[in-house]
Amino acid sequence: MMLPDPAATGLARVRKVEGDALGLRTPAFAPTEGAGDLLEVSLGPHHPSTHGVFRMDVVLDGERIVRLKPVFGYLHRNHEKLGEATSYLGSMPYTDRLDYLNSMTNNWAYALAVEKLAGIPVTERAEYVRVVLAELSRLLNHTCLAGFLMQDCGCSGTPLMYAFREREKILDLFESLSGSRMMCNVQRFGGCRVDPSAEWLAATRRLVDGYGAFLDEFEALLSGNEIVMARTQGVGRLPAALAVNAGITGPMLRASGVGHDLRKVDGYGVYPRFNFRVPIGRDGDVYDRYMVRMLEMRESIAILDQALRDLPGGPILDPKAKQRGLRPKAGEAYGRIEGPKGEIGFFLVSDGTGNPTRYRVRAPSFVNLTVLEDLCLGHTVADAVIILGSIDIVLGEVDR
């Protein structure tokens, strides 16, 4: 079992308080006698750098972290219970609110799972449109992540301003297509709710053509920046074996050197038709996770270029595909896609009625947090903030 080695990090001075297995109100750890120089601090749930209502209970030896326990559930909105009470189509707007930065990819993952469950084919135009929207979402997410990560490093808002300037351009596209900036609710079972017009596609083409220049400007300021490199290189190394065993997915896994991208491995949708590379890191530190995302944005631009060029005509949604009153046969299905944060999957169990009997969201941020303690041990609190930023969590999907 891959747990951090207590002796290596001075944990011998911290005794873990064993509550009994039935969840009593016990803290996760308590310093032993003679360890009076350890300081227990709760970072959060209200904290400028915790990316939402997230709490880390850290035990500090001076400035170094000797124990870290993440505590969440502050945004637990019983999404899964609502899924059991709502029909299949009715849950689609709720999936927007999981990873609320990328509603397009959440919608697609859910639509994919239902299409697998009910055996609904997808129109070809919709597959291409889904790729376009997902890659725009990926651009948006990674840009914002770079901005937030720099804010955590102490850059206090300026890279975030640049990032949000570009995000607004992409949100304008989403709004003109779907009617909403963030909660787009665009995917349906077998296609998309809205059909992009020629003007929309031309505007997207203009954005994609200009995005490379923005990335050049952004990277020129940040990627070779001496302060960024000093703060992020060597910090929060994640070994590849631990990453795979801990279920880490997404750019965090690829930064550790594992070439696992569901767009290539599963080849869902029409991704096998596109020519793109998967950037892989080497050390698995914060700098690699940041650089993998910057390189992924370049690849997303390449995919968007090809998808916009090859977008076929045809119906965007099969009118005979059942949306309301969908009653799949009793059975279950697990559908997953490569979201910007990792593998987002939906496990649906149907009992033949209009509501799923079990609706489970496999959220990438939730599983990626498993290794937070391992990454932060021995680092300072300031590094813990950057490490958390590089994991790229969003509490909507951690807590659901």
Partner 1 sequence: METPEALRDRLLARFPGASIELVPNGSPSAQVSFRIGPAALREVACFLRDDAELALDQCSNVTGLDVPDREVVETVKESQPGAPGGPPVVTERKQTRLQPGHLEVVYHLYSVARRQGPVILRARTGNRTDAVTLPSLTPVWRSCEFQEREVFDLFGVVFEGHPDLRRILMWDAFVGHPMRKDYVEPDDYEWEPTPHGDVLAKARRHYPSAAAPGAVQPSP
Partner 2 sequence: MSDAPTAASVPGPISAEERDELRRHGILLTSVQELYNWGRSHSVWPLNFGLACCAIEMIAASMAKFDIARFGSEVFRPSPRQADLIIVSGTVTKKMAPHVVRLWNQMPEPKYCIAMGACAISGGPFKQGYNVLKGIDRYIPVDIYIPGCPPRPEALLHGLVELQEKIRQQPLRGPDAPRHLRSDLPCDATVPELGATDIEPPFSPDVWKPPTLVRPDKA
| Residue 216 binding partner per list partner 2, partner 1, none, with a CB distance cut-off of 5 to 8 Å that depends on partner kind | none
Minimum Å distance from CB 145 to partner 1? Answer: 22
Q: Which does 329 bind (CB under 5 to 8 A by kind): partner 1, partner 2, none?
A: partner 1
Q: How far is the CB of 70 from partner 1 (least distance, A)?
A: 9
Nearer to partner 2, 159 or 191 (CB): 159
Q: Does 64 contact partner 2 by CB under 8 A?
A: no
Give the residue, chosen from 72, 148, 174, 214, that forms a contact with partner 1 under the rule CB under 8 A: 72
Taking the C-alpha atoms of residue 343 and residue 111, their distance in angstroms, rounded to an integer, is: 15
328 binds partner 1 (CB under 8 A): yes
55 binds partner 1 (CB under 8 A): no
Member of 150, 177, 194, 258 binding partner 1 (CB under 8 A): 258
Q: By CB under 8 A, tell whether 54 contacts partner 1.
A: no
| Cα 298 → chain centroid | 18
In 3D, which of 132, 153, 145, 293 has the Cα closest to residue 203?
A: 132
Rank residues 47 and 64 by Cβ distance to partner 2 and give the closer one.
Answer: 47
> Rounded distance, CA 398 to CA 380, Å?
24
Least CB distance to partner 2 at residue 266 (A): 28
Of the candidates 13, 38, 60, 94, which one interacts with partner 2 according to CB under 8 A? 94
Sign of CA dihedral 168, 97, 127, 268: positive
Single-letter amino acid code for the residue at 15: R
- The encoded tokens of residue 76 equal 């637990």
Query: What's the CA gap between 372 and 56, in Å, rounded?
Result: 10
332 contributes a contact to partner 1 by CB under 8 A: yes
The four Cα atoms 92, 253, 367, 41 give a dihedral, to 10 degrees, of -120
Q: Are 111 and 93 in contact (CB under 8 A)?
A: no
- Under the binding rule (CB under 8 A), the answer on residue 182 touching partner 2 is yes
Q: Are 271 and 131 in contact (CB under 8 A)?
A: yes
Q: Is 75 in the site for partner 2 (CB under 8 A)?
A: yes
Work out whether 14 is an interface residue with partner 1 (CB under 8 A).
no
CA distance from start to end of the chain: 28
User: By the 8 A CB rule, do 192 and 126 touch?
Assistant: yes
- The distance of closest approach from Cβ of residue 78 to partner 1 in the complex, given in angstroms and rounded to an integer, is 7
Interface pick for partner 2 out of 5, 37, 63, 168 (rule CB under 8 A): 168
- CB nearer partner 2, residue 242 or residue 395: 395
82 binds partner 2 (CB under 8 A): yes
CB of 288 to partner 1, least distance (A): 18
Instruction: Answer yes or no whether residue 167 interacts with partner 2 by CB under 8 A.
Output: yes
Interacting stretch for partner 1, rule CB under 8 A, among 117-125, 159-167, 173-181, 376-384? 117-125
Rounded to a whole number of angstroms, the minimum distance from the CB of residue 384 to partner 2 is 17
Please identify, using beta-carbon distances, which residue of 1 and 22 lies nearer to partner 2.
22
Is-contact 200 173, C-beta < 8 A? yes
Query: Binding of partner 1 at residue 272 (CB under 8 A)?
Result: no
Other Cβ atoms closer than 10 A to 92: 22
Instruction: Tell me which stretch binds partner 2 (CB under 8 A): 13-21, 92-100, 259-267, 360-368.
Output: 92-100
Residues in contact with partner 2, counted by CB under 8 A, come to a total of: 33
Q: Which is nearer to partner 1, 179 or 352 (CB)?
A: 352
Contact positions vs partner 2 (CB under 8 A): 45-48, 52-53, 73-79, 81-82, 85, 93-94, 97, 100-101, 160-161, 164-165, 167-168, 171, 181-183, 395-396
Contact positions vs partner 1 (CB under 8 A): 1-3, 16, 19, 21-26, 28, 72-73, 76, 78, 80-81, 116-119, 242, 244-249, 258, 260, 265, 328-336, 343, 345, 347, 349-350, 358, 360, 362, 366-367, 369-371, 399
